[in-house]
């Protein structure tokens, strides 16, 4: 089994701790822990791990598979589907290399199965326990302050749902309950759509066969990644997008990705809103839509709906403690992850359930902040000499921590990162030029072509891309950067360091990019800026 362990490595500090309780073992009617985490996705695992490292006794409840969406139905399997196309394209561009451009779809799907651990969470479950935490299998509901009821226990593999076998356990948290229940896909209100049994991101990332044709509704990250992957795997793909692609990023990103999708044979229809969906007896799907040329329709073997996600707050019992947000919004938390407005300061939340970030890495960052804050507030003693003391005192509940300290997820507001694994890849950190201007920052932006640096010309025929930095003129620091191009994601971290470190341009000038790498674009950007 290929491990998805990059999500959460066992810490050396906790590896040797063991717990006697095992999955499914009968338990006392009421079990008391210091901390109960609901949801063992990447985020829940990390908040539990950080809190548990301080010696706190942590239980983590999971209704489906330990590891959550990212490991089995999102980041990992989707990237396994996308990697072969990227490799073929890169190799085919290099003179003297002869490669078959054919992708062996069954082999790719089989490798994807390995990457998704065949939808078996045994590896993650055993890591949780080896890290000294207790994994409780079942669906959790908050029934009273600090009290969580867990129903069901047996879990089936691929669809992951726990069967309600009547088992009920009540977990009581001495100090904190953390909600890390993630998000669910948003199904737009389109006539016939639900009845047509469309694919969501789960079906798209775990499909055992490639449909001969696919219509993708949406123009965001899932839509563009899945359109790329399924085109690579041989499907005829049409993308129906209401507006431009990847609209949350700089405009040149969507334009580049749309052009590349079209070049690869994907029909990208901008300004298209589906109005009616039907699935006929032979299984084919017809999508009627208002398009740029008026009413139109198309037929395909399958339909993927990728129109965003909503925080999973509805079925966690939040109403029982007065914490259910209105209208499906995410949970509102302070910078340490403490849910605002709940008496007794015991309810925390992190990750997709906040509705403010929707990536694994940003959620895990919040989880580290939240887990450390819980440890600092409640651990009797931290067994790790020195480790626990960096970052100063944890702020009192309700008071604002200083930005960029251990107990503030400051980068969520000013330095979120994202890599979209389309071809070309798109990578961004911080603010777009428009977002910076809207925030009242006096900005100047400069762009440079990735194909115009020596390193770029060596990458292969037709290598191209764009880099853009957005500079806060008053402070002469970079507040946003975007790259689009082959493997652009690997260029992002230098920009992230510049943004988070608020490195003045005059100092950045001394960060000399090695020759001949594509990173030399940094020098060209600064020269273009005027240094």
Ligand X SMILES: NC(=O)c1ccc[n+]([C@@H]2O[C@H](COP(=O)([O-])OP(=O)(O)OC[C@H]3O[C@@H](n4cnc5c(N)ncnc54)[C@H](O)[C@@H]3O)[C@@H](O)[C@H]2O)c1
Residue span 39-58 as binding mask against ligand FAD, x where in contact by CB under 6 A, dash where not = xxxxxx--------------
- DSSP assignment of 422-448: SSSEEEEEE--HHHHHHTT--EEEEEE
H or E element at residue 273:
strand 273-279
Residue 522: left (phi > 0), alpha (psi -120 to 50), or beta?
A: alpha
Q: Which is nearer to ligand FAD, 347 or 441 (CB)?
A: 347
Scan for tokens 């999973």, then name that residue: 312
Based on its alpha-carbon atoms, the radius of gyration of the chain, rounded to whole angstroms, reads: 24
358 binding ligand FAD? (CB under 6 A): yes
Distances (CA, A) of 43 to 348, 352, 394: 12, 8, 21
Tell me which of ligand X, ligand FAD, none is bound by residue 217, counting a contact when its beta carbon lies within the kind-specific cut-off of 5 to 8 angstroms.
Answer: ligand X
- The helix/strand/coil state of 95 is coil
> What is the C-alpha to C-alpha distance for residues 72 and 156, in angstroms, rounded to an integer?
13
Q: Which is nearer to ligand X, 59 or 190 (CB)?
A: 190
68 binding ligand FAD? (CB under 6 A): yes
303 binding ligand FAD? (CB under 6 A): no
Closest CA to 36 of 138, 184, 163: 138
230 binding ligand X? (CB under 6 A): no
285 binding ligand FAD? (CB under 6 A): no
Among 217, 338, 518, 521, binds ligand X (CB under 6 A): 217
> What is the C-alpha to C-alpha distance for residues 201 and 187, in angstroms, rounded to an integer?
11
420 binding ligand X? (CB under 6 A): yes
Distances (CA, A) of 122 to 26, 301, 346, 374, 502: 19, 35, 31, 28, 42
> What is the C-alpha to C-alpha distance for residues 177 and 147, in angstroms, rounded to an integer?
8
> What is the C-alpha to C-alpha distance for residues 61 and 144, in angstroms, rounded to an integer?
16
Eight-class DSSP state of 150: E
Within residues 69-108, the interface with ligand FAD by CB under 6 A covers 69-70, 74-75, 78-79
State the number of binding residues for ligand X (CB under 6 A): 24
Tell me which of ligand X, ligand FAD, none is bound by residue 106, counting a contact when its beta carbon lies within the kind-specific cut-off of 5 to 8 angstroms.
Answer: none
Within residues 267-286, the interface with ligand X by CB under 6 A covers 273
- Find all residues with CB under 8 Å of 258, minimum gap 6, and list them: 244, 245, 268, 270
Q: How far is the CB of 523 from ligand FAD (least distance, A)?
A: 29
Q: How far is the CB of 184 from ligand FAD (least distance, A)?
A: 8
Within residues 328-367, the interface with ligand X by CB under 6 A covers 358-359
Among 43, 196, 419, 491, binds ligand X (CB under 6 A): 419
Q: Which is nearer to ligand X, 219 or 335 (CB)?
A: 219
Residue span binding ligand FAD (CB under 6 A) among the ranges 309-317, 335-343, 467-475, 503-511: 309-317
Q: How far is the CB of 361 from ligand X (least distance, A)?
A: 8
Among 31, 89, 121, 352, binds ligand FAD (CB under 6 A): 352
152 binding ligand X? (CB under 6 A): no
Closest CA to 123 of 135, 111, 112: 135
Which residues contribute to the site for ligand FAD (CB under 6 A)?
Answer: 38-44, 61-64, 68-70, 74-75, 78-79, 139-140, 180-182, 201, 205, 222, 312, 315-316, 351-352, 358-361, 363
Which residues contribute to the site for ligand X (CB under 6 A)?
Answer: 188, 217-223, 225, 241-243, 247, 273, 306-309, 358-359, 418-421
């Amino acid at each position: 089994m290929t491990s998805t362990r990059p999500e959460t490595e066992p810490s050396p500090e906790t590896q040797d701790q063991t717990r006697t309780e095992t999955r499914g073992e009968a338990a006392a009617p009421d079990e008391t822990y210091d901390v109960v985490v609901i949801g063992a996705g990447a985020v829940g695992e990390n908040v539990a791990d950080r809190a548990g490292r301080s010696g706190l006794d942590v239980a983590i409840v999971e209704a489906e598979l330990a590891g959550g969406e990212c490991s089995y139905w999102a980041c990992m399997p989707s990237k396994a589907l996308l990697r072969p196309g990227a490799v073929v394209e890169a190799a085919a561009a290099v003179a003297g290399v002869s490669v078959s451009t054919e992708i062996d779809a069954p082999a790719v799907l089989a490798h994807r199965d390995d990457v998704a651990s065949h939808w078996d969470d045994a590896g993650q479950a055993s890591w949780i326990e080896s890290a000294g935490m207790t994994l409780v299998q079942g669906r959790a509901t908050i029934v009273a302050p600090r009290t969580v009821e867990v129903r069901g226990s047996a879990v089936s593999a691929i669809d992951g749902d726990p069967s309600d076998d009547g088992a009920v356990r009540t977990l009581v948290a001495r100090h904190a309950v953390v909600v890390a229940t993630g998000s669910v896909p948003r199904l737009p209100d389109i006539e016939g759509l639900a009845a047509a049994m469309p694919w969501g991101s789960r079906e798209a990332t775990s499909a055992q066969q490639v449909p001969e044709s696919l219509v993708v509704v949406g123009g965001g990250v899932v839509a563009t990644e899945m359109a790329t992957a399924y085109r690579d795997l041989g499907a005829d793909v049409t993308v129906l997008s209401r507006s431009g692609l990847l609209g949350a990023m700089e405009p040149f990103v969507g334009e580049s990705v749309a052009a590349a999708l079209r070049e690869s044979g994907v029909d990208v229809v901008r300004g298209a809103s589906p109005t009616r969906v039907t699935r006929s007896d032979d299984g084919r799907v017809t999508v009627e839509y208002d398009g740029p040329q008026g009413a139109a329709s198309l037929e395909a073997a399958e339909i993927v709906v990728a129109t965003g996600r909503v925080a999973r707050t509805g079925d966690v019992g939040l109403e029982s403690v007065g914490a259910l947000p209105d209208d499906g919004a995410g949970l509102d938390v302070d910078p340490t992850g403490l849910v605002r407005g709940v008496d007794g300061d015991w309810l925390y939340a992190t990750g997709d359930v906040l509705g403010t970030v929707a990536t694994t890495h940003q959620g895990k960052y919040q989880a580290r902040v939240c887990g450390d804050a819980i440890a600092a507030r409640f651990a009797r003693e931290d067994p790790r000499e020195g480790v626990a003391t960096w970052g100063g005192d944890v702020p009192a509940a309700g008071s604002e921590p200083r930005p960029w300290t251990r107990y503030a997820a400051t980068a969520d507001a000013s330095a979120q990162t994202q890599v979209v694994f389309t071809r070309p890849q798109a990578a961004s950190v911080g603010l777009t030029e428009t977002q910076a201007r809207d925030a009242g920052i006096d900005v100047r932006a400069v762009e440079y072509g990735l194909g115009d640096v020596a390193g770029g010309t060596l990458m292969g025929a037709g290598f191209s891309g764009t880099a853009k930095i957005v500079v806060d003129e008053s402070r002469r620091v970079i507040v946003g950067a975007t790259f689009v191009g082959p493997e652009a994601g690997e260029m992002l971290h230098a920009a992230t360091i510049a943004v988070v470190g608020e490195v003045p341009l005059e100092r950045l000038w001394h960060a000399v990019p090695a020759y001949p790498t594509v990173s030399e674009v940094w020098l060209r950007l600064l020269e273009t800026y005027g240094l």
